[in-house]
Amino acid sequence: MTISNHTVGTFHYTLTDNFGNILDTSSGRDALSYIHGIGNLIPGMEEGLEGKSAGEKFTVKISPEKGYGAKEPGLIRQVSRTQFEEQDLQVGMRFRTPAGISTITLIENDTVTLDANHPLAGVELNFDVEITDVRAATKEELAHGHVHGPGGHRH
């Protein structure tokens, strides 16, 4: 069976940026299961997985447009350090802000730069993928919009 609409694809992946930094990996965890064709995954990933079958290993390269979108400059703001209750501010800390979840990307003197873009916005994504299973989705899974069992919802 190959991955097509309304099949459940299960795969291991390692995500790297163009500098070879590992951003995420399923190694050491359950493989990821998803229902193909209903928007569970970013568009570029679904395109890369379409038509693949269990046992296949390959790399999917995804542009920001088909990943987490371009970085929007309007979502980057500079605020005064005095606006934080937290004393020990550090780059990488995340806060809930009116613009969404924001990450501190720079601290210079009393100015803190907050970025509400998705952390992977503007990043070209390289997924090393190994498909471990492909099966038909059940009616219940399709009704819920997610996979049940290992690698999916357990409810």
User: By the criterion CB under 5 A, which residues form the site for Zn ion?
Assistant: 144, 153
Q: How far is the CB of 148 from Zn ion (least distance, A)?
A: 6
Considering the complex, state which of residue 81 and residue 144 has its C-beta at the smaller distance from Zn ion. 144
Burial of 100 (C-beta count, 10 Å sphere; 0-12/13-18/19+): exposed
Compare residues 94 and 153 and give the one whose CB is closer to Zn ion. 153
Residue number with CB closer to Zn ion (61 or 153): 153
Helix (H, G, I), strand (E, B) or coil at 114: strand
Question: For residue 40, what are the contacts with CB-CB under 8 A and spacing of at least 6?
Answer: 34, 46, 145, 146
Shortest Å distance, C-beta 141 to Zn ion: 7
State which residue, 114 or 147, has the beta carbon closest to Zn ion. Answer: 147
Please say whether the beta carbons of 61 and 125 come within 8 A: yes
Query: What are the residues whose beta carbons fall under 8 Å from the beta carbon of 143, sequence distance 6 or more?
Result: none
In whole angstroms, how close is the CB of 40 to Zn ion at the nearest point? Answer: 12
Specify the amino acid at residue 77: R
Least CB distance to Zn ion at residue 135 (A): 16
